[in-house]
Structures are given as C-alpha cells and as structure tokens.
Amino acid sequence: MTHFSIAQKVLFQHCDPAGIVFYPRYFEMINYAVESWFEEGLNVPFSTLHFERNSAIPTATINTVFKAPSRLGDILDIGLTVNRIGGASLDLEIEAAANDNIRFSATLTLVHVNGTSGKPKPWPEDIRERIETLLRETL
Amino acid sequence: MTHFSIAQKVLFQHCDPAGIVFYPRYFEMINYAVESWFEEGLNVPFSTLHFERNSAIPTATINTVFKAPSRLGDILDIGLTVNRIGGASLDLEIEAAANDNIRFSATLTLVHVNGTSGKPKPWPEDIRERIETLLRETL
Amino acid sequence: MTHFSIAQKVLFQHCDPAGIVFYPRYFEMINYAVESWFEEGLNVPFSTLHFERNSAIPTATINTVFKAPSRLGDILDIGLTVNRIGGASLDLEIEAAANDNIRFSATLTLVHVNGTSGKPKPWPEDIRERIETLLRETL
Amino acid sequence: MTHFSIAQKVLFQHCDPAGIVFYPRYFEMINYAVESWFEEGLNVPFSTLHFERNSAIPTATINTVFKAPSRLGDILDIGLTVNRIGGASLDLEIEAAANDNIRFSATLTLVHVNGTSGKPKPWPEDIRERIETLLRETL
C-alpha cells in the first residue's frame, strides 16, 4: 500500500547517451517525491520546513535496486510508503513503475535535524501525528 | 586499500539551500569516479566503452550511507575499491572523505551489458584481466 | 501573446546555497518548456523526434535576462512564443513569471538537424504547418 | 587575451541522448569557471564570498552562442576574460574550445549583491583592485 504518489515524465534532461535515465537523476525524482509528499500529504512545504521551522531532513541511508531501464517519454508512477517513524528518523520505501514494470525501488532513512546545527531533533507533533495516522490507517 | 581515487571539490552547483551537498549530486560524483577509473585505471574511456565497443555498465544496485555533510569548498577524496568481479558484474565500494572525516560510503554492483539490447554480456578479456590483476595485487 | 505555457514549481533541487534558483536550472526548465510544447502543442514527442525521425533540435543561440530571483516553492508560469520560422531554424521567446513578477526572459534560436550528421535539415511539413498556423492565428 | 582558464572534461553526466553535451550543463561549466576564477584568480573562494562576506554574485544577463557540439571525452579549454567592471557589476566573456574548435562563447554580466537583501552593493576594494590590475595589465 502506498501512502502518496506522483507521476514523473522521463524528460530529455534525465537521459544519458545510452538513451536511458542516468541513475543520479532518479535520486532527484526520489527527492521530488519526498518534497511533494511533505507539501501535499503532510501539509509542510519544504520552504516552511527549511526557512520558517529551521529544520532539514537529510537522507542518512538509501538502498536502491534498479530493475529495468526507463526511456525518454516514459511516465513513471512513483509511490511512497512510510515504513516506520522513530524519534527523529523516518523509514520510507519508494518504488517507481511504468506500464506495470518496476523500474527501481529504494528504502531510505531520513533524519529530522536542526537546520543550523545539523543535529537530530524530535519530529514536531503535527508532523508526527499525520504520519502516525497514515500508519494506523494502513494496518 | 583503494584501487583508484579522485579529488572532487564541492562546488556551488552541488549545494542546496541548507548549504550542504544535495545528495543526488553525490551520485554524479560516484559516476565520475567510476568513469575516471575506467579511463585512467582500466584504459577504457567511456567514449570507447559506449560508442566503439557498444557496451554500457548500468548500476544494478547501490547502497549508500551518508555519514556527515559536505560543504562548499570541501575537497573530497573519493576512493574506489573493487570487491569482486563476476561473469558480467562488478562489485565496487566507494568512500568519500575530507579532512579524515568520512562523508559517505557506497557499495554498488555494475553490470556489463550490450549497448543495444541492454542484456548482460561477459566482461571482455582486457578489462577482466586488468581488474583481476588489481585484485591479486591487493590480496 | 504566448503560444504555449507550462507551470513549474521551484523545487529544492533547483535552489542554491543563496536559497534562490541556481540559474543553470532555468535552462533545464526552458528545455522542458520546449520539449512539452513539441509533444503537446506540435504533436511530436521528443522520443519520436529523436529516435523515429532521427532529428535533433540543438539550441544555436540563447540570450537571457534574469530580472528577479525565484525561491523554493514559487510556481513559475513559463510561456513560450514563436517569433519566426526559417528553413531549418526557429526563433522562440520564453518568459517566466510568478505572482505577476517576471523572473527571466530568453530569446533563442533552435535548428532542426539530422540526428546522425548534426547538419541542418528543413523542418518537416507537418511541423512547419502547425507552427505556421500558430503564427497566422496570432497576427 | 584570457585572464583565467580551466580545463573541463566532457563527462557522461553532461551528455544527452543525442550523445552531445546537453546545453544547460554548459552553464554549470560557466559557473564553475567563474567560481574557480574567484578562488584562484581573485583569492575569494565562494564559501568566503557567500558565508563570510554575506555577498552573492547573481548573473543578470547571459548571451550565448553554441558554435559546435561537444562529445563525451572532449577536453574543453574554458577561458574567461574580463571586459569591464562597474560599480557593482562585472562584464565577462567566456569561451570554450577543444582541438582549436570553438564550442560556445558567452558574454555575461554579474552583479555583486548583499546576500540577505539581494540588493546591489559596490565591489569591495580588494576584489576591485585585483580586477582593475588585470584590466590594466591587458591593455
């Protein structure tokens, strides 16, 4: 069960001389999925998160499997699933598919940190509540 | 023991509004390390690999741990170590450090494929030999 | 009068340590506007243009004025206007605004070329007709 | 006469499905040339400029002509020439060539601004002096 998803068209700028998506561009798409979810799903746009709340959510680890190449013009359906929320961490799973064919899947851990010091700080209550609600609803 | 290394300065274009390297840019640096190693270490520039030999070496999996942020102006020392060569696969480890402080480490598996079909094809003898020599020398 | 427009949100990945769009990212947006117009306005997706028709449309010149910075979360309205079609060239104007505030404007000349030789080749009739229709309608 | 130059290899990450440099990447190279010149030529690294001096040097206008495509593995010689220094502005010319073949040339105007307000502020004396010395030496 996915908690959020975006559609991302494979553009010219994503592709390499082999005519397929250059894999570092997939990480920009992953970041875009997380950014969109924070804004639309959790109601905390990145501009608010970074500039008003002085927080950041750097990625601590990310493990990715690339299962099939994506080509110019493919429409990727990128789904995001929350696996677990910790004190200041968040485990996500992100999977992209096109035409029922999985292109990549990633598991990542984000950490909520103070924007100035970079030190972990507990998730604020509003964000924690929204995420816990998501997790309860998908039991 | 590293088999190859490059120096990469953290440029303005690598950094995000939090003032640290935006992590998708690290994957461009990882690709640059592999590309430089193929050219300088294995004597097979990517232009030869892709256009003359009609091969490609897509990344099949990559697991990455981000240990500390990197900032504008840092000089990253990015080391590449070969862990294992298979029939058409290659396991690498890549670690970046600055001032003796590890910034990220990644383990990845590349696959040597036919540039047209995208199907795995065995490593050509010249590349295999150079890599096996490296592995023997570092026993 | 604009002939085509897209909306582009300013994402984290577009912004630099100064918290504003890093200007090379604007050129990716310009390319995205042209790519979307070819697909949706001219009915020629870039995958068709490049791989089926063996054409390319490199940018020959581009002049850009950056009038005001854009920030994380801004929604840019990027409008494209055709100024003139030549034998194998195309003059476009692209302007981006947010909240009625112009962020950048660019005039560019594209050239339709053979994908293999890179040599200019006349616009195919279907593309030329659609563009000339646009130009007539906006007299 | 160029006042500063860098060598930039065309990497896999710079190239598009047509096998040539995707032109927005050239603007990253232009930015890299300016950034390197500030650090090595003017003795003001970007980290100092942005974080210690709280300045920024956004590009106000840039006009670019792309004269010939660049391919994977090309070594671009990117030269920077100062044309004129104003109160808070700077006119530069940047030209890239490989094998005596010009690939692109750009004229741009940078503006020295306050990093917080984004408003123009006069060039600091140390930077102005170094630039005026360059200009005098090349009369």
pLDDT digits (tens, 9 = 90+) for D79-103: 999 999 999 999 999 999 998 899 9
Q: How far is CA A117 from the centre of its chain?
A: 23
> What letter represents residue D95's amino acid?
E
Mean pLDDT of B100-106: 97
Q: How far apart are CA B18 and CA A138, in angstroms?
A: 33
List all residues of chain B from 73 to 92 with a beta carbon under 8 Å from chain A: none
The helix or strand, by DSSP H or E, that contains position B34, with its residue range, turns out to be helix B23-36
Angstroms from D56 CA to nearest CA on chain A: 19
Q: Which residue has the tokens 């959510």?
A: A57
Mean pLDDT computed over every residue of chain A: 96
CB atoms inside a 10 Å sphere around CB C81 = 17
Q: Which of C41, C58, C54, C48 is nearest to C5 (CA)?
A: C41
Determine, for residues D56 and C18 on separate chains, whether the beta-carbon distance falls below 8 Å: yes
Which of D25, D61, D69 comes nearest C118 by C-beta? D69
pLDDT over 90 (residue B62): yes
> What letter represents residue C14's amino acid?
H
pLDDT band at A139 (very low <50, low <70, confident <90, very high): low
Cα-Cα-Cα-Cα torsion A19, B25, D21, B61, nearest 10 degrees, comes to -20
> What letter represents residue A7's amino acid?
A
pLDDT in tens, A112-134: 999 999 999 999 999 999 999 99
Determine, for residues D17 and C65 on separate chains, whether the beta-carbon distance falls below 8 Å: no
pLDDT in tens, D55-64: 999 999 999 9
Number of residues that this document lists for chain C? 139
List all residues of chain D from 2 to 31 with a beta carbon under 8 Å from chain B: 11-13, 19, 28, 31
CB–CB of D4/D135 below 8 Å? no
**Residue B124 DSSP code:** P
Which of C28, C50, C73 comes nearest A45 by C-beta? C73
pLDDT in tens, A21-71: 999 999 999 999 999 999 999 999 999 999 999 999 999 999 999 999 999
- CB contacts < 8 A, C to D, total 68
Q: Residue A64 class from Cβ within 10 Å (0-12 exposed, 13-18 middle, 19+ buried)?
A: buried
Percent of chain A with pLDDT over 90: 94
Interacting residues of A117 by C-beta distance below 8 A, sequence separation 6+:
none
pLDDT over 70 (residue D119): yes
B100: left (phi over 0), alpha (psi -120 to 50) or beta: left
A101 in contact with B at a CB cutoff of 8 Å?
Answer: no
pLDDT band at D8 (very low <50, low <70, confident <90, very high): very high
ipTM, interface predicted TM-score of the complex: 0.96
Structural tokens at position A123: 């998730």
D-chain residues near A72 (CB < 8 A): 17
Q: How far apart are CA D139 and CA D131, in angstroms?
A: 13
Angstroms from B137 CA to nearest CA on chain C: 42
Q: Which of C28, B61, B69 is nearest to A26 (CA)?
A: B61
Determine, for residues B13 and C16 on separate chains, whether the beta-carbon distance falls below 8 Å: yes
**Residue B35 DSSP code:** H
In three-state form (DSSP H/G/I as H, E/B as E, the rest C), the secondary structure along C70-132 is: CECCCEEEEEEEEEEECCCEEEEEEEEEECCEEEEEEEEEEECEECCCCCECCCCHHHHHHHH
C-chain residues near A51 (CB < 8 A): 19, 72
Angstroms from B63 CA to nearest CA on chain D: 20
**Residue A19 confidence (pLDDT):** 86
Q: How far apart are CA A90 and CA A83, in angstroms?
A: 8
**Residue A1 confidence (pLDDT):** 80
Probe site for chain A from B13, B14, B15, B23 (most A CB atoms < 10 A): B23
Neighbours of chain B (3+ CB pairs under 8 A): A, C, D
Three-class secondary structure of residue A123 per DSSP: coil
- Taking 3-state DSSP, the helix, strand and coil percentages for chain D, each rounded to the nearest 5, stand at 30, 40, 30
pLDDT band at A103 (very low <50, low <70, confident <90, very high): very high
**Residue A137 confidence (pLDDT):** 85
Contacts of the segment C81-84: beta carbons below 8 A, 24+ positions apart? C81/C1, C81/C2, C81/C3, C82/C3, C82/C131, C82/C134, C82/C135, C83/C107, C84/C135
Mean pLDDT of B84-104: 97
CB–CB of C4/C34 below 8 Å? no
**Residue D30 confidence (pLDDT):** 98
Please indicate, yes or no, whether the overall pTM of this predicted structure exceeds 0.95: yes
Q: How far apart are CA A131 and CA A114, in angstroms?
A: 19
Q: Which of C103, C104, C127, C122 is nearest to C112 (CA)?
A: C122
pLDDT over 80 (residue D139): no
Q: Which of C117, C124, C130 is nearest to C53 (CA)?
A: C124
- CB contacts < 8 A, B to D, total 38
pLDDT band at A73 (very low <50, low <70, confident <90, very high): very high
Which of B13, B35, B71 comes nearest D28 by C-beta? B13
Q: Residue C63 class from Cβ within 10 Å (0-12 exposed, 13-18 middle, 19+ buried)?
A: middle
Determine, for residues C17 and B17 on separate chains, whether the beta-carbon distance falls below 8 Å: yes
Among chain D residues, the shortest Cα distance to A19 is held by D17
Mean pLDDT computed over every residue of chain D: 96
CB atoms inside a 10 Å sphere around CB B128 = 15
Structural tokens at position A85: 């929320």
Buried-exposed string D67-93: b where 16+ CB fall within 10 A, e elsewhere: eebbbbbbebbbbbbbeebeebbbbbe
Structural tokens at position B107: 């383990």
**Residue D19 confidence (pLDDT):** 86
Which of C58, C66, C115 comes nearest D66 by C-beta? C58
Probe site for chain D from C64, C94, C110, C114 (most D CB atoms < 10 A): C64
Q: Print pLDDT tens along chain C (139 aa).
A: 899 999 999 999 999 998 899 999 999 999 999 999 999 999 999 999 999 999 999 999 999 999 999 999 999 999 999 999 999 999 999 999 998 899 999 999 999 999 999 999 999 999 999 999 999 987 6
Angstroms from B71 CA to nearest CA on chain D: 9
B-chain residues near C17 (CB < 8 A): 12, 15-17, 19, 72
Percent of chain B with pLDDT over 90: 94
* Of B7 and C19, the one with more pLDDT: B7
